[in-house]
Amino acid sequence: MGEFVETVRDGHVGIVRMQRAEKHNAFHRALSAAVSAAFDGMEADAEVHCVVLVGTGAAFSAGADMNEAVAAIEENGRSDGMGRCIDRVARFPKPLVGCINGIAYGGGALLAATCDIRIASDDAAFRFPGAAYGLVVGGSQLPRIVGPAYAKDLLFTGRVVRADEALRIGLVNRVVPRQDVEAATMEVAAMIAANSPLALIATKEVVDRASQADDAVAREVEWNRALRASPEHHERFRAAAARVAARGPRRGDGAA
């Protein structure tokens, strides 16, 4: 997978590890392509029954790389490479457990929401700031996880949700101490992977159909296609990137 993603298999559990720690695993083109390719490989490997997705360092993912995104705006309009990567992950047919080892902001929060199960460290935090940038980020996923009222709260305000609140509202399944989060996630994944692989795929499909969001997903894509081309989004995104650059890099820099 190259320098940005590590893939390994532990028994019947596949592990996809994002490796851009110096940028809080913010997604640029290379990371988006590498994660998509990793999931292609995990889907094709019959020995993989369940997959764990985890970040390296102090973050799960801070979202899209702001510098690359602003450069794309200046050149010919902003692309949606991370969105295509998240779509690939969302179509993954096997159980996917997210090891949320720190912050998950913007597209990183949406990537976490795309996982079937989320095990979070006690210092994990989520933020869905799409509206601040003039986008819809998570509108089709969050309602089926936390319900429409909490989803609107998180999406309308773009506020930070800490691990304890995330557990209370159902955004994560478990919260464990930072040093234990990978071990706890692997324990859950191993329990899943011990079951019939075909039954697991069938169960995931049936549960997803029971909480069908296909129409909402398509509409979110349509809205964002238009919003990403809008002058307002470009202005808001440039302003956000300028604020990040002015204060220097911090945990949580990144975007939808």
3-class SS string, 145-195? HHCHHHHHHHHHHCCCEEHHHHHHHCCCCEEECHHHHHHHHHHHHHHHHCC
Tell me what pLDDT residue 252 has: 44
Q: What is the pTM of this model?
A: 0.85
Give the start-end residues of each E strand in the chain: 5-10, 13-18, 50-55, 59-61, 96-100, 103-105, 117-121, 125-127, 161-162, 174-176
- Kindly report the length of the chain: 256
Tell me what pLDDT residue 118 has: 98
* Residue 250 dihedral angles phi and psi, to the nearest 5°: -135, 165
Tell me what pLDDT residue 223 has: 67
Tell me what pLDDT residue 210 has: 87
Domains of the chain: 5-178+200-247 (3.90.226.10)
What tokens were used for 237? 């995104």
HSE value, Cβ hemisphere, 13 Å, CA-based, for 137: 31
Low-confidence residues in the chain, pLDDT < 50 = 78, 249, 252-253
Tell me what pLDDT residue 88 has: 93
CA 131 to chain centre: 17
Residue closest to 23 by CA, chosen among 45, 47, 55, 46: 55
Tell me what pLDDT residue 166 has: 98
Tell me what pLDDT residue 246 has: 74
Tokens 């989520």 belong to: 126
How far apart, in whole angstroms, are the C-alpha atoms of residue 157 and residue 136? 12
| Region for 123 from its dihedrals, namely left if φ exceeds 0, alpha if ψ lies in -120 to 50, beta otherwise | alpha
How far apart, in whole angstroms, are the C-alpha atoms of residue 153 and residue 223? 20
How far apart, in whole angstroms, are the C-alpha atoms of residue 162 and residue 166? 6
Tokens 């989320």 belong to: 118
